[in-house]
C-alpha cells in the first residue's frame, strides 16, 4: 500500500474489555512462528528474558526473579518475529527499487520488506542504494566528520534499544569528537519524567521494584496502555490484585488491558473468565491530570490524610504547596470529571497505606508534563509514599534499554561523571549542552547541522512535524542509519546516505575474543546481561559495538582503543566500571541475574537535591484551550505496532481491522460537529505559527473516548504535531495534545 491509498478492506467492531488470554497467545505465536519458520521462532521465544537468553526487545518492564518458562507476551513475540523474519533487503532489492519509489511506500510495507543484509550507500545524484564495504563505509563517515569545521555540525541520535556497551562507546565517540549533540528517543518520550523527578526527589528514575508492585495496596495507572505496550505489567497487576490491591486507571480511553486481564501464562488465564483489574476508571479529558492530582492533593489535606512525620523529616516546600487551593470550577473543566469521581479517587488514596503511581506517554507528551508529574509527586510525598515497601513513583519506560542508555551518558548535557570520562580517556569535552531532538531538527533545517548519525530508531517518522523533519534530514551532507530493518528515515536521504545494518538482540555476536554478550537496564534500574543465540540474518552483519568502533577508528584513529573494544566487550565494561558510578566490578556483578542500581530515595529516603530534601512544588493550574469546533487530539499506538514499526494493520482491543488512518471520536462530539462514524475527513492542526498542517482521508470511528477529545495513530498523524509545540523544560513534542479540526474529504 502506498502512503495515501484509502483502506478499502477496513472493518470496525466493539472495543474489547479484556486483554490477552488465548487470542493473545495465538496471535503472538502466529507472528513468531509464521514469519520466521517454526524452529527459529520457537527457539527465539524460549530464550526471551531467561537468565542465559536475550532481553526482550519489546519493552522495559522488568523480569521477575522467578521466571515462568515463557516470560514473554504477545507483543514481545511480535518484536522477536520482526527481527527473526526470513525476508531480506539485499543488494538485489535496492537494485530493483529506487529510493524515489521506496519513498511512496507506507511504514508497514517498508518494515515488512525484511532485514537489511549489506552495508549500502546512496551517493549524490544516484537514486539507488548500492553495496559498499564496511571499511569504505567507515572511511566515508570518518572523512566527513573530520572535515566538519565545527564538531557541533554532527548529530548523534540514539534509539533506546542500544546496549549499554554500544551506548557508552557512542557517547565517547561524540564527546571525543568535541560535541554533546546526543539527541535520543528519550527526548520524545520520558524526558518530562526525568526532569520532574530530578527536581523533586533528586534522581530521574522510578522508585519502585517489581516486588513493590506485587505488594502495593493501591496502584494508579495514569496515561498508559499496558495491555498493548507493557503486557507483562498486567501479570504484575494481577498478582497485586490477588494480594488485595486496588487499581485505579486514569485515561481518556477505556483501554482493554486496564479493565480486565486473562493471564496467558496460566491455565486459568487461558480458559477462565479473567481478572477484573480496575476498581475505579476515570475517563479524564486529555491534559486534565495536573488538575486531577492537584484536586486529590487538596482533598487529602482537607481530610488530614497527610503523613506529617514524613513531611517534617524529609521534605521542603509543603507550606507553600498547602497554601494553594485548587479552584473546583477549573478542575472540573480541565478534567471533564465529576466532583464525586474525584472524591472517590482521593478516598482510595486516603485509604491506602502503600500506593504506587505508574505513568507513561499520556503524561509526558504534554505542554505541562513536568508540572503534572510534579503534582503526582506532591501527592505521593504528602502520603509518605517514597522509600516504603509497596509504594512509590513508577514512570514506565518504553524502549527496552532507554533507561540504560541515559545512564551510559546518552544525553545532550554533559553527564555528572564527565570529569571521570575525560580523565579515563585523556580527552577534553565541551561543557555546553548539545542539541536535543527538537533542536536537532531545527539545526538541520537551518544548516547548523549537516551530518546525522542514527544508532537505531527512525528519526524521520518518530519526530514531530514530519515535513520539517524530513526536509532537515534531506538537507544533510551525510545521513547514516545503523538499522536492522528498512524504514522511512532511509528514504529521505541526505546528499550521501549510508545504511549500516546490524545484528539484533536475538542474534549471536561473534567477535575476535569469542561470543559476546551485552548488558541492559530495565525500567526499575535492574542491570543484566543479554545474549543472542540465533544465527545472524546475514553473514555481512556486525554488531552495533563493532560499527561504533569502526566509525570511531576512522574518525579519531588510534588515540582510543577502538579495536580492543570491538574484539572483546569486557574491555568496554571495564571502562564503564571506571567511569560510571554504580558500575564498580561490573563484569562480575553481571553474572547470573544481574544487579539493581542504587536509588537513594527508594533505598534510604535520601534525596540528592540541593538541600537534601524531597521538594513539594506548586505550579499554576493550566489547561489546553480547544476553541469551539475543535477537538484535542492525541497520537497513540495500536496493538500491532512497535513505535514506527507496523507489525500489522489491526488494533484488536479497539475493534479495528485493517486500518491505520483513523480518527477516534466521541459520538456527542460527532453530532456537534455534524460528522458520522465512517466519514472520511482531513485533519488540520492549529498552532500559533499559522502554518497549515493537514493529513488527508482519515476515517472517523465513533469511540467511547472522553468528550472533546480525539485520537489517531502515531506515526501517521505526526505531520500534525507542530515542531514548536513542546513541553515546558523537557522540550518533548506535545504528541498527546494537538488542537485540530476535521473537514469532510
Ligand atoms: N507493543 C508495543 N510496546 C511498546 C511500544 C509500542 O509501540 N508497541 N512502544 C514502547 C515505547 S517507546 C513506549 S514510550 C511505551 C509507550 O506506552 P504508552 O504510553 O502506553 O503508549 P501510548 O500508545 O502512547 O499510550 C498512551 C496512553 O495514554 C493515554 N492518554 C493520552 N493522553 C492522555 C492524558 O492527557 N491523560 C491521561 N491520563 N491519559 C492520556 C492514551 O489514551 C493511551 O492509553 O511503550 C513501549 N512498548
Ligand atoms: N506522534 C507521536 N510521536 C512519537 C510518539 C508518540 O506517542 N506520538 N512516541 C515517541 C516515543 S515514546 C519514542 S520512544 C519515539 C521512538 O523513536 P525511535 O526509537 O527513533 O523509533 P522506532 O520506531 O522505535 O525505531 C524503529 C527502527 O529501529 C531499527 N531497529 C530495530 N531494532 C534495532 C536494533 O536492535 N538495533 C538497531 N541499530 N536498530 C534497530 C529498525 O530499523 C526500525 O525501523 O517516537 C516518539 N514519537
Ligand atoms: Mo518511548
Say yes or no to pLDDT of 270 above 60: no
The residues that bridge with 478 in the sheet, in sequence order, are: 451, 496
Distance CA 549, CA 504 (A): 17
> Residues 6 or more apart from 168 whose CB is under 8 A from it?
408, 409, 572, 575, 576, 579, 580
Weakest mean pLDDT among 55-64, 369-378, 457-466, 675-684? 55-64
| Atom of ligand 1 lying closest to residue 705 CA | 42
The pLDDT assigned to 69 comes to 46
Proximal ligand: closest to the CA of 716:
2
The preferred substitution site among 19, 185, 225 for testing ligand 1, maximizing ligand atoms within 8 Å of CB, is 225
Of all protein residues, the one whose alpha carbon is nearest to atom 45 of ligand 2 is: 462
- CA 396 to ligand 3 center in whole angstroms: 9
Cβ pair 516, 497 in contact under 8 A: no
Q: Determine what percent of the chain is predicted with pLDDT higher than 90.
A: 84
- The residue assigned the cell 488540520 is 684
pLDDT value at residue 56 = 82
Separation of CA 189 and ligand 1 centre (Å): 10
Nearest alpha-carbon partner for 647 in 636, 635, 660, 634:
660
Tell me the average pLDDT across 621-634: 93
Q: Would you say the CB of residue 361 lies under 6 angstroms from ligand 2? A: yes
The region of weakest confidence among 32-46, 438-452, 576-590 is: 32-46
Under the banding of pLDDT at 50, 70 and 90, the label for residue 53 is confident
Is the Cβ–Cβ distance between 359 and 394 less than 8 Å?
yes
What is the secondary structure of 80-123 as a DSSP string?
HHHHH---EE-HHHHHHS-HHHHTTB-HHHHHHT-EE-S-EEE-
Angle CA(108)–CA(110)–CA(112) in degrees, nearest 5?
65
Pick left, alpha or beta for residue 525 (phi over 0 → left; psi -120 to 50 → alpha; otherwise beta).
left
**Nearest Cα residue to atom 17 of ligand 1:** 229
Closest ligand 2 atom to residue 458 Cα is 20
Q: State the pLDDT at residue 4.
A: 55
Q: Any idea which ligand is nearest the CA of 399?
A: 1
Q: What is the pLDDT of residues 301-352, one digit of tens each?
A: 999 999 999 999 999 999 999 998 899 999 999 999 999 999 999 999 999 9
Residues at Cβ < 5 Å from ligand 3 ion: 189, 398
Architecture of the CATH domain 631-744: Beta Barrel (2.40)
CATH of 191-399, one of 1.10.3660.10, 3.40.228.10, 3.40.50.300, 3.30.365.10: 3.40.228.10
Q: Which atom of ligand 2 is nearest to the CA of 717?
A: 1
For residue 157, the ligand 2 atom closest to its alpha carbon is 20
Look at ligand 1, atom 31, and give the residue with the nearest C-alpha: 362
Query: What is the pLDDT at residue 39?
Result: 57
Residue nearest to atom 44 of ligand 1 (CA): 225
Pick the closest to residue 314 from 208, 205, 206, 202 (CA basis): 202
**Dist. CA 402 → ligand 3 center (Å):** 8
Contact yes or no for 220/230 (Cβ under 8 A): no
Segments of 622-708 assigned E as strands? 631-636, 641-642, 645-646, 656-657, 662-665, 680-685, 693-702
Q: Could you tell me if the CB of 361 is within 6 A of ligand 1?
A: yes
pLDDT for position 663: 98
Return d(Cα 311, Cα 613) in angstroms, integer: 10
Q: pLDDT class for 266, splitting at 50, 70, 90?
A: low
Question: How confident is the model over 66-92, as pLDDT tens digits?
Answer: 555 455 678 888 888 889 899 999 999
Pairing, β 680-685 against β 693-702: antiparallel
- Any atom of ligand 2 within 6 Å of the Cβ of 735: yes
Does pLDDT of 381 surpass 50? yes
Average pLDDT over residues 112-116: 97
Asked if 553 and 141 touch (Cβ cutoff 8 Å), the reply is: no
What is the distance in A from the centroid of ligand 1 to the CA of 663?
A: 16
**Which value, in Å, is the radius of gyration of the alpha carbons in the chain?**
24
Is the CB of 488 inside a 6 Å radius of any atom of ligand 2? no
CA of 355 to the centre of ligand 1 (A): 21
Handedness of CA 73, 79, 83, 89 (dihedral sign): positive
Rounded to 5°, the CA angle 700-702-706 comes to 115
Which residues lie below 8 Å from residue 340, measured CB to CB, with a gap of 6+?
A: none
- 268: pLDDT strictly greater than 60: no
C-alpha 466 – ligand 2 centre gap (Å): 14
392-436 tens-digit pLDDT:
999 999 999 999 999 999 999 999 999 999 999 999 999 999 999
Q: Please, what is the end-to-end C-alpha distance for the chain in angstroms?
A: 20
pLDDT: is 592 or 64 the higher one?
592
Q: Which atom of ligand 2 is nearest to the CA of 398?
A: 14
Mean per-residue pLDDT over the chain, rounded: 93
pLDDT cut 70: percent of the chain above it = 92
pLDDT surpasses 80 at 579: yes
Whether the bond between 410 and the residue before it is cis, its omega within 30 degrees of 0, is no
**Residue 662: closest CA among 703, 707, 713:** 713
Average pLDDT of 253-278? 72
Strand ranges, E, within 512-628:
514-515, 518-521, 526-530, 595-596, 614-615
Give nearest CA residue, ligand 1 atom 33: 362
Query: Which segment of 302-316, 471-485, 615-629 scores lowest on mean pLDDT?
Result: 615-629
CA of 336 to the centre of ligand 1 (A): 20
SS3 at position 533: coil
Boundaries of every domain in the chain: 20-84, 88-188+401-583, 191-399, 631-744
DSSP 3-state of 208: coil
Q: Give the CATH architecture of domain 88-188+401-583.
A: 3-Layer(aba) Sandwich (3.40)
Q: 214: which DSSP letter?
A: H
Q: Phi-psi region for residue 592, left (φ > 0), alpha (ψ -120 to 50) or beta?
A: left
- Specify burial of residue 319 (Cβ count, 10 A radius: 0-12, 13-18, 19+): exposed
Instruction: Kindly state if the Cβ of 225 falls inside 6 Å of ligand 1.
Output: yes
Pairwise CA distance, residues 30 & 369, whole Å: 38
- Please give the Cα distance from 270 to 264 (Å, whole number): 5
Residue-wise pLDDT for 13-48, tens only, equals 888 877 766 566 666 666 655 554 555 666 666 666
Q: What is the model's pLDDT at position 185?
A: 98
Atom of ligand 1 nearest to the CA of 645: 7
The ligand that comes nearest to the alpha carbon of residue 229 is 1
Amino acid at each position: 500500500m502506498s502512503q495515501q491509498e484509502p483502506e478499502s478492506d477496513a472493518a470496525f467492531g466493539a472495543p474489547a474489555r479484556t486483554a490477552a488470554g488465548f487470542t493473545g497467545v495465538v496471535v503472538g505465536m502466529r507472528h513468531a512462528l509464521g514469519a520466521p519458520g517454526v524452529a527459529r521462532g520457537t527457539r527465539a521465544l524460549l530464550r526471551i528474558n531467561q537468565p542465559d537468553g536475550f532481553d526482550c526487545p519489546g519493552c522495559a518492564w522488568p523480569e521477575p526473579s522467578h521466571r515462568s518458562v515463557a516470560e514473554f507476551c504477545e507483543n514481545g513475540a511480535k518484536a522477536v518475529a520482526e527481527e527473526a523474519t526470513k525476508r531480506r533487503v539485499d543488494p538485489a532489492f535496492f537494485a530493483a527499487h529506487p529510493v524515489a519509489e521506496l519513498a511512496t511506500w507506507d511504514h508497514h510495507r517498508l518494515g515488512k520488506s525484511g532485514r537489511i543484509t549489506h552495508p549500502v550507500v546512496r551517493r549524490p545524484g544516484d537514486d539507488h542504494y548500492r553495496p559498499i564495504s564496511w571499511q569504505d563505509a567507515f572511511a566515508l563517515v570518518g572523512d566527513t566528520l573530520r572535515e566538519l569545521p565545527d564538531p557541533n555540525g554532527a548529530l548523534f541520535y540514539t534509539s533506546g534499544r542500544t546496549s549499554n556497551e554500544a551506548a557508552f562507546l557512542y557517547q565517547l565517540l561524540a564527546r571525543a569528537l568535541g560535541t554533546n549533540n546526543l539527541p535520543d528517543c528519550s527526548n520524545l518520550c520520558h524526558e518530562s519524567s526525568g526532569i520532574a523527578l530530578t527536581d523533586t526527589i533528586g534522581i530521574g528514575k522510578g522508585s519502585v521494584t517489581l516486588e513493590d508492585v506485587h505488594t502495593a495496596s493501591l496502584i494508579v495507572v495514569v496515561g498508559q496502555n499496558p495491555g498493548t505496550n507493557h503486557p507483562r505489567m498486567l501479570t504484575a497487576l494481577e498478582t497485586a490484585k490477588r494480594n488485595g490491591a486496588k487499581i485505579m486507571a486514569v485515561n481518556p480511553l477505556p483501554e482493554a488491558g486496564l479493565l480486565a486481564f486473562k493471564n496467558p501464562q496460566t491455565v486459568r488465564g487461558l480458559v477462565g473468565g479473567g481478572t477484573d483489574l480496575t476498581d475505579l476508571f476515570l475517563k479524564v479529558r486529555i491534559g486534565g491530570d495536573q488538575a486531577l492530582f492537584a484536586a486529590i492533593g487538596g482533598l487529602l489535606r482537607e481530610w488530614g490524610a497527610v503523613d506529617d512525620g514524613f513531611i517534617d523529616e524529609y521534605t521542603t516546600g509543603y507550606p507553600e504547596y498547602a497554601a494553594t487551593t485548587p479552584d473546583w470550577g477549573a478542575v472540573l473543566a480541565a478534567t471533564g470529571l465529576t466532583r464525586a469521581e474525584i472524591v472517590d479517587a482521593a478516598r482510595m488514596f486516603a485509604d491506602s497505606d502503600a500506593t504506587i503511581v505508574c505513568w507513561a506517554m499520556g503524561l509526558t507528551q504534554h505542554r505541562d508534563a513536568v508540572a503534572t508529574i510534579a503534582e503526582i509527586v506532591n501527592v505521593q510525598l504528602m502520603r509518605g509514599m517514597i522509600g516504603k515497601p509497596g509504594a512509590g513513583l513508577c514512570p514506565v519506560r518504553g524502549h527496552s534499554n532507554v533507561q540504560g542508555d541515559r545512564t551510559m551518558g546518552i544525553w545532550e548535557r554533559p553527564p555528572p561523571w564527565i570529569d571521570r570520562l575525560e580523565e579515563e580517556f585523556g580527552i577534553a569535552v565541551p561543557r555546553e549542552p548539545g542539541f536535543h531532538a527538537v533542536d536537532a531538527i531545527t539545526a538541520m533545517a537551518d544548516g547548523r547541522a549537516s551530518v546525522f548519525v542514527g544508532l537505531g530508531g527512525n528519526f524521520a517518522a518518530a519526530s514531530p512535524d514530519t515535513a520539517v523533519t524530513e526536509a532537515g534530514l534531506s538537507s544533510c551532507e551525510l545521513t547514516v542509519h545503523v538499522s536492522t530493518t528498512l524504514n522511512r528515515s532511509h528514504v529521505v536521504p541526505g546528499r550521501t546516505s549510508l545504511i549500516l545494518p546490524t545484528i539484533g538482540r536475538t542474534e549471536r555476536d561473534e567477535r575476535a575474543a569469542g561470543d559476546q554478550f551485552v548488558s541492559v537496564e530495565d525500567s526499575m534500574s535492574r542491570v543484566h546481561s543479554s545474549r543472542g543465540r540465533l544465527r545472524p540474518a546475514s553473514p555481512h552483519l556486525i554488531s552495533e559495538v563493532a560499527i561504533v568502533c569502526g566509525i570511531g577508528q576512522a574518525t579519531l584513529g588510534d588515540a582510543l582503543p577502538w579495536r580492543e573494544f570491538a574484539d572483546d566487550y569486557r574491555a568496554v565494561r571495564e571502562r564503564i566500571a571506571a567511569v560510571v558510578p554504580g558500575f564498580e566490578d561490573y563484569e562480575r556483578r553481571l553474572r547470573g541475574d544481574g544487579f539493581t542500581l542504587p536509588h537513594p530515595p527508594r533505598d534510604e529516603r535520601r534525596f540528592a537535591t540541593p538541600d537534601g530534601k524531597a521538594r513539594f512544588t506548586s505550579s499554576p493550574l493550566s489547561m489546553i484551550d480547544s476553541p469551539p469546533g475543535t477537538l484535542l487530539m492525541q497520537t497513540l499506538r495500536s496493538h500491532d505496532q512497535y513505535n514506527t514499526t507496523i507489525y500489522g494493520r489491526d488494533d484488536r482491543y479497539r475493534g479495528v481491522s485493517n486500518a491505520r488512518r483513523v480518527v477516534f471520536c466521541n459520538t456527542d462530539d460527532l453530532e456537534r460537529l455534524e460528522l458520522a462514524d465512517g466519514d472520511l475527513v482531513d485533519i488540520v492542526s492549529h498552532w500559533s505559527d499559522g502554518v497549515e498542517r493537514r493529513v488527508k482521508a482519515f476515517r472517523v470511528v465513533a469511540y467511547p473516548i472522553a468528550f472533546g477529545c480525539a485520537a489517531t495513530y502515531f506515526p501517521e498523524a505526526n505531520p500534525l504535531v507542530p515542531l514548536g509545540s513542546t513541553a515546558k523544560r523537557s522540550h518533548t513534542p506535545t504528541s498527546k495534545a494537538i488542537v485540530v479540526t476535521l473537514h469532510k474529504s
